[in-house]
Amino acid sequence: MNLSKLFLEHCEKNHYEVNSNQLQIIDLLKIFYLKNFNQSIFQKIFNRKKNKMGFYLVGDVGVGKTMLLNFFFDELKEKKLRLHFNEFMIKFHDFIFENKNKENGIDDFVKDLNNKAKILYFDEFQVTNIVDAMILGRLFKRIFDEKIKVIFSSNIKINDLYKDGLQRDQFIPFIKILENNCYQNELFIEEDYRSSKNSNSERFLYPLDKSTNFKFNKFFRIITKNKKKSLKVLETKGRRFEIKNFYEKIVKFDFKELCDNNLGSEDYVNIANNSNFIFLENLPIFNENNSNQQQRFITLIDIVYEKKIPLMITSELDLESIKSNKNMPETFKRTISRLYELTSISFN
């Protein structure tokens, strides 16, 4: 596999800029692939150094980690699975619940996973859920024991994952497992390609006034023309959620509907699966008084971005003002970067 040549052709075809750091990461991915999937019998017998089955690519928001790993993942011929981490953990918890009478639920889940894929890909990996944090050590130990390869992209270095999280001492074993089983590399690029390419976010409207409201509703009327309005009721593990403004998968929400209520990743996945375009009104100024809503919003945007659903938003502040708020958590940088892309006129 001449990965470097293929990558250069891929970038030229898609008009992507290429830098030396990206090419270095491509070379490291090729080595990772050869060690894990293309070793000769001789190499396997005499390779005394333990081979690592994970590749963890860290870098700031918008530097192109996803583009690079998507390219690598698409070139793989082996059985593979690409999942948003929230969806992966939902599948895990569902499996455990459905097999609650079995003693070795984690073992059974990983064996089932091994039948479906020899390599997993988690894009923009992070951990925010205390329940997940407490179980990841055991889960990923079994994944690596089963020789399942895993590639990650993340804005957060392994040692900083779940930093300042509740009961982080119970998360430390997972960090050690990742450090022992993953090659960690960093991608450097000077600017955030999402915000630089999409500096004119045509569908992110501010401030909250009559003019903004007029533009928002005008575009909503245009895009829903000739579409039938209905009440869409979603059921998520017994929880009922109503989408009052549902126009054949064109949906409109107030921020409070999605983020003031006690909704989680499973609810947002269900909403995203029933949406082709999302209108979101009244994004507030985020501060210490609405930290729960802020975290829900981060989760929502992660899932919307994974599903590639365009957004139109009205907000108290513009994206640059939100971005410059020094009190925002580190994880919100990724959210801002994704909002630039999701609300750009080219993202359809």
CATH of the domain at 104: 3.40.50.300
128 shares its domain with 9: yes
> CA-based angle 214:218:220, to the nearest 5?
120
Does the reported pTM lie above 0.85? no
Label residue 42 by pLDDT band (50, 70, 90): very low
| The two structure tokens encoding residue 296 | 């829900």
Of the candidates 281, 326, 275, 283, the residue with the CA atom closest to the CA atom of residue 305: 275
239 shares its domain with 322: yes
pLDDT at 124 (0 to 100) = 84
Q: Assess if residue 347 is contained within a domain.
A: no
18 shares its domain with 51: yes
Look at residue 74 and tell me whether its pLDDT is greater than 60.
Answer: yes
**Which of 323-330's residues contact partners 24+ apart within 8 Å by CB, and which partners?**
325/286, 327/287, 327/288, 328/286, 329/294, 330/155, 330/156
pLDDT over 90, % of the chain: 63
pLDDT at 116 (0 to 100) = 95
- CATH code: domain of residue 217: 3.40.50
Close Cβ partners of 6 (under 8 Å, ≥ 6 residues apart) = 71, 75
Q: Which of 186, 220, 244 is the last residue of a domain?
A: 186
| The two structure tokens encoding residue 74 | 């698409």
53 shares its domain with 160: yes
301 vs 270: CA distance, rounded Å: 13
pLDDT at 164 (0 to 100) = 79
Q: Assess if residue 348 is contained within a domain.
A: no
Mean of per-residue pLDDT scores for the chain: 88
Of the candidates 41, 28, 142, 125, the residue with the CA atom closest to the CA atom of residue 86: 125
| C-alpha distances out from residue 85 to 138, 180, 269, Å | 16, 20, 12
Span 133-178, pLDDT tens digits: 889 999 999 999 999 999 999 989 999 998 878 888 889 999 999 9
Which amino acid is residue 17, in one-letter code? Answer: E
Q: Assess if residue 87 is contained within a domain.
A: yes
Look at residue 60 and tell me whether its pLDDT is greater than 90.
Answer: no
Q: What is the mean pLDDT of residues 230-248?
A: 94
Q: What is the mean pLDDT of residues 57-61?
A: 87
| 131 neighbors 166 (Cβ within 8 angstroms) | no
- Sheet with 229-236, strands from edge to edge, namely 204-205, 311-315, 277-283, 250-254, 239-247, 229-236
Of the candidates 257, 265, 256, 275, the residue with the CA atom closest to the CA atom of residue 236: 265
225 shares its domain with 331: yes
30 shares its domain with 167: yes
160 vs 174: CA distance, rounded Å: 12
181 shares its domain with 197: no
Q: Which of 186, 211, 230 is the last residue of a domain?
A: 186
Q: Which of 186, 220, 237 is the last residue of a domain?
A: 186
CA atoms within 13 A on the CB side of 328: 21
Look at residue 198 and tell me whether its pLDDT is greater than 60.
Answer: no
132 shares its domain with 278: no
Q: Based on C-alpha coordinates, what's the Rg of the chain?
A: 21
252 vs 108: CA distance, rounded Å: 41
- What sections of 76-192 are H helices per DSSP? 85-98, 105-116, 130-145, 172-181
SS3 183: strand
Look at residue 204 and tell me whether its pLDDT is greater than 70.
Answer: yes
Label residue 234 by pLDDT band (50, 70, 90): very high
- Domain of 327 in residue numbering reads as 193-342
In terms of phi and psi (left: phi > 0; alpha: psi -120 to 50; beta: otherwise), the region of 152 is beta
SS3 177: helix
pLDDT at 81 (0 to 100) = 95
Q: Assess if residue 288 is contained within a domain.
A: yes
Look at residue 1 and tell me whether its pLDDT is greater than 80.
Answer: no
Instruction: Count the domains in the chain.
Output: 2
Span 276-333, pLDDT tens digits: 999 999 999 998 889 899 999 999 999 999 889 999 999 999 998 988 887 777 778 8
